[in-house]
Amino acid sequence: MKDYNIRDIAKLANVGVSTVSRVINDHPDVKKETRDKILSIIDEYNYIPNNSARNLKLLNGNHIGVLVRGSFNPFFSQIVELIEKKINANNYSMILHYNINDLSDDSESIIEQVKEKRLGGVIYLGGNFNNDSMVHLKSLNIPLVLASSIIETDSDTSFFSSVRIDNVQSAYHAVDYLCQIGHKNIALLSPGMYDVKNGLLRRRGYEKALNDHGITIDEKYIIDGTYTFNSGFEMAKTLIESNPEITAIFATSDIMAVGAAKYLLSSGKEIPEDISIIGFDGLEYSQFFHPALSTVKQPIEAIAFESVKLLFDLLENPENKTQQITLKTELLVRDSVIKIKEHSYD
């Protein structure tokens, strides 16, 4: 029950190995008759080409790496699942690596992974990149797409393909809405050191919205944490205990929002009557929370879909131009927000 190799198949079919190779790779220069015969032998003996040999010869692997900056966030899990589906449809395999680089520079860890695993391409989810990173990475000479990543560079952003959203605008949208319906004491739940750049942009949107509505920014309404349920819970607790006048919370991720909402509800507050809350990401989960959470929905399917598409554009034709795509988010207003009551006119 040994495995057959291409030479065995060639012998069995009475042809040369080159011909078998051509059949396997769909080269046109094979007579239909010969092709059919070889195909039937391949089928009969259950021959499967050896990928290692193939990759050795071709000098590039057919694994594409999906490297994820964070971990334990359903937002990433969902994207990853969708990406996997598409990668497999293209006859590549996905090598998944969560929680890349807790310490080092993003570009470092990517380079390491690519070399070590001989990846044919990489999708990087959720990191931060500056000019140096980009140049460093460029030396890899490998198809790379940056998805949901923050790219901080004034110069050439066209080194790599990228798929992202407008974080400032998206956050602005949510906070602007809160202001419009009368909220003035609006808190911000922000990721702290963990993923600074990302949170920073959303914070800028928050500040801009307040500014535009003539509300002065109060540092004590802004609190840092991490992208976890627990952190959301704790942040809300700290915030509300010392600032009971807060009427709305904008959380920069849904899991934070859920954590915060949980604190509010379990401390006897009502949502949205006492406090309105808006999350970020648009996890399926958020609509099954009770009350249904308002959120800024990221186009998760599109992020996954476009990332893979851009990657294969580069993979199939390395001469292709890189592309930068910015996708639209959508503010979903659900049951967790309410127009503020004007006490004076009661």
Residue span binding DNA (CB under 7 A) among the ranges 15-23, 154-162, 208-216, 228-236: 15-23
- Identify the bridge partners of residue 270 per DSSP, sorted by sequence position: none
Centre a 10 Å sphere on the Cβ of residue 191 and count the other Cβ atoms it contains.
Answer: 23
Do the bridges between strand 294-297 and strand 330-332 make them parallel or antiparallel, or are there none, so unpaired?
A: antiparallel
CA 286, chain centre distance (Å): 18
Going residue by residue from 248 to 287, which x/- string records binding to its own copies, judged by CB under 8 A?
A: ----------xx-xx--xx-----------------xx--
Per CB under 7 A, contacts with DNA among 33-52 are 33-35, 47-50
- Look at residue 266 and give the partner it binds from its own copies, DNA, none, a contact being a CB closer than 5 to 8 Å depending on partner kind: its own copies
Q: Note whether 318 binds DNA by CB under 7 A.
A: no
Residue span binding its own copies (CB under 8 A) among the ranges 109-117, 159-167, 205-213, 326-334: 109-117
Q: Note whether 91 binds DNA by CB under 7 A.
A: no
Between CA 235 and CA 316 the distance in angstroms is 47
Could you tell me if 149 and 128 are in contact, meaning their C-beta atoms sit under 8 angstroms apart? yes
Determine the 3-state secondary structure of 163 from DSSP: strand
Q: Note whether 14 binds DNA by CB under 7 A.
A: yes
Nearer to its own copies, 115 or 328 (CB): 115
Between CA 124 and CA 69 the distance in angstroms is 8
Determine the 3-state secondary structure of 80 from DSSP: helix
Please name the amino acid found at residue 266.
S
Identify the residue among 116, 219, 319, 346 touching its own copies (CB under 8 A): 116
Contact residues: DNA, CB under 7 A:
3, 5-7, 10, 14-19, 21-22, 24-25, 28-31, 33-35, 47-50, 53-54, 56-59
